[in-house]
Amino acid sequence: MAEPAATPRILRWVDRFLIWTSLSLGGATLAGMTVLSVWNVLIMRKAFNNPIQGAEDVLIVMLVSIVALAIPLGARTGSHIEIEVLESRMSRAFAKWSYLLTKVLSVAVLLIMTWRLWHAGQGAVRFGETTQQLMISYEPFYYLMAVSVFLYAVVLIIEIGQLAQGKAVMRLRTESQTL
């Protein structure tokens, strides 16, 4: 079994950054979505029969932002789905190396995704990729997703380093439970 280790300094810095961005920026975005939804549906639509034009566009891009902010934090807390059907039938050495290889392949895929998302952001204005009513460009949201996916790759690279050293992967935890 892999030995537990102290959390590396870079991982502590990444954890602080991910928690701050996810909770403050994600929380503010979620609060904004809530206020806009309540205002638009309950007050403007139901009370005055005059909904806010383009509110759905704003809600869509806010939702994309929340997802982008949650991706790397989900990676750090171990919230992403892992299927471990065959792990109980593998030897420890084979399980370790297959887990390591899977993470290396995942980093490669995530880096390709980062590159393609960044490239899509560069072409979003040129190809007219916007929301339907307010014509909000998707460009900054492609960049946000690219940075988010890149941070996910960074988290996996740190985990690969931990596994290669024979240490257990240290997940981000609160006082008594995982976030």
pLDDT averages per 10-residue partition of the chain, 179 residues: 62 90 94 96 92 95 95 87 76 85 96 98 94 96 97 93 85 60
Q: Single out the residue of 77, 35, 89, 25 nearest to residue 58, CA to CA.
A: 35
Residues contacting 87, CB < 8 A, separation 6+: 95
HSE (side-chain half, CA atoms, 13 Å) at 2: 21
Q: What is the pLDDT of residue 170?
A: 79
Burial 48-81 (b: 16+ CB within 10 A, else e): eeeeeeebbbbbebbebbbebbbbbbbbbbeeee
| One-letter amino acid of 18 | L
The predicted model scores a pTM of 0.85
Cβ burial 141-150 (10 Å sphere, 16+ → b, else e): bbbbbbbbbb
At residue 3, the pLDDT reads 46
DSSP state of 44: I
Mutual orientation of helices 139-164 and 92-124 as an angle, nearest 10°? Answer: 160
pLDDT at 18: 92
Give the pLDDT confidence score for residue 151 in this predicted structure.
95
Query: What pLDDT is stored for residue 5 in this prediction?
Result: 55
